[in-house]
Amino acid sequence: MNERLYKTQAVVLRRFDFGEAGKQLVVYTPGLGKLSIIAQGVKRATSKLAGHLEPLSLSYIVAARGRNLDTVTQADTVEAFANARTDPHRVFYALLVAELLDKLTLDQEENRALWDLLVSTLRRIDTEDDPWTPATYFQVRLLVLSGYKPQLDECVECGGKLDPSAVFYSPRVGGTLCPGCRMADVQSFGVSANAVKLLRLAVAPAYGPYSRVRVGSPLRAEVEGILRASLGNITDREVGSAALLDIMKRAPAQRSQS
């Protein structure tokens, strides 16, 4: 193979127009992390690449290194995740997964565990009855694998034991606080013992125990609120992204429509 060429699996996180008939793609890969890459001519009907570089699908690509951006020369769909991309109840969650991964990662930082999480999450959103479960598990694991593991076993500030009837969550420190320590943390808010239990399950690398819990609407809303606050706090600080919060705020409206 030509030295300038390399091959990799890739999930297209998002894409936008590039030049007259091309697209710039932001993809996530197992060995190269997140990459921006050009696909020339994909908007033409004759393009061999078109149809193999759809957002949220897993493709096998060959790319040529460029001075600035690399260019896709071949693409083949490996898994299309058709339900996740077309079912209105699922596509919101699949897009949320792609956008959060994009916001919390830097270019060209390999994270094989994050790659595995991305692909297994898209597969679960595509096939499982309830896409909420894999989508929320993804968000907790994304925090863990990005170095922001939620601390839920004691008070993060004083190390004190938690009384399940009076637990608070602080997005600032990314974990639980006791009633005494929460006084100094204006962002913190009260959380139920069940929400803390559910998040503890999602922190673990095994999906099974988390996925088997039946979660009712009030607890769903509470867990979503905790995740939104945590992820929003990180992206505000690290990336300054107001767009992310907008995406996450759309969640409840989307759910009530479906």
d(CA 2, CA 245): 43
d(CA 4, CA 25): 19
Burial 165-195 (b: 16+ CB within 10 A, else e): eebbbbbbbbbbbbeebbeebeebbebeebb
Nearer of residues 37 and 155 to Zn ion, judged by Cβ: 155
d(CA 165, CA 162): 9
d(CA 175, CA 43): 46
* Least distance CB 164 / Zn ion (angstroms): 15
* Least distance CB 160 / Zn ion (angstroms): 5
* Least distance CB 152 / Zn ion (angstroms): 13
Interface ranges with Zn ion (CB under 5 A): 155, 157-158, 160, 178, 181
Nearer of residues 57 and 170 to Zn ion, judged by Cβ: 170
Nearer of residues 51 and 160 to Zn ion, judged by Cβ: 160
Q: Please report, as a single letter, which amino acid is at residue 23.
A: K
* Least distance CB 171 / Zn ion (angstroms): 16
* Edge-to-edge strands, sheet with 189-191: 175-177, 167-170, 189-191
Nearer of residues 158 and 243 to Zn ion, judged by Cβ: 158
